[in-house]
Chains A and B, each alone.
Chain A
């Protein structure tokens, strides 16, 4: 079974805090993705990585950064959390490069910024 794990299911942080969300996959896929999901807006891609230390901006990268030091881990960083970053964050993995491969999702982290 494909497994993507995320470090926390629920997280509450204060405005201005630095927040780390971690994602770990067990399938040796090169591609990993971070999305946020908001009511009425659907899933939006924040950043993705196609190899260790490689990253590309998605549709809404502002206010976020990422880190991929090892193939199986992909971290999303909120440098200074703001209330408009309250959302459901979803990590996914799948395929390599530009292949047509299914993306498999983790359980999600519900982040609340107060």
Chain B
């Protein structure tokens, strides 16, 4: 059974204070690891897909990295508008293209 654990559950940062969110996973045959951003009361918004260990992707102040056991979402010099819940999900090697999600990290960036 695929499993995803995200840490911390919640993170409070000052504007400009860089940090990282962690996503640890166990999966039989990783086909893809996905990061989403979710604002309160809205559907998740796609950020990145990572396919293999060593891969990195960047978008504005966000950078996602992947190892064989975990992924990090690095947030550089965050702004208040980066406040959201960040979700990690994995797609395993068997069967249909379903995703297993972690419970998310709630990020609050204060001005």
* Pairing of A with B: yes
Chain B min CB distance to A34 (Å): 12
* In the complex with contacts A105-B44, A106-B43, A108-B41, A100-B91 CB distance below 8 A: yes
Chain A at the B interface: SS class: loop
Residues on B facing A (Cβ under 8 Å): 31-32, 34, 36, 41-46, 49, 51, 87, 89, 91, 95-99, 101-104
How many A-B pairs have beta carbons closer than 8 Å: the answer is: 60
Do B87 and A100 have beta carbons less than 8 Å apart? no
Do A42 and B96 have beta carbons less than 8 Å apart? no
A101 CB within 8 Å of chain B? yes
Stretch at the interface among A13-21, A43-51, A67-75, A78-86: A43-51
A97 CB within 8 Å of chain B? yes
A104 CB within 8 Å of chain B? yes
Count residues of chain A with CB under 8 A from any CB of chain B: 29
Assembly CA distance A99 to B97 (angstroms)? 6
* In the complex with contacts A50-B96, A58-B98, A98-B96, A41-B103 CB distance below 8 A: yes
Do B96 and A103 have beta carbons less than 8 Å apart? no
Residue ID in chain A nearest B44 by CB atoms? A105
A-B residue pairs in contact (CB < 8 Å), sample of 8: A40-B103, A42-B103, A43-B101, A90-B44, A94-B97, A100-B49, A102-B34, A103-B97
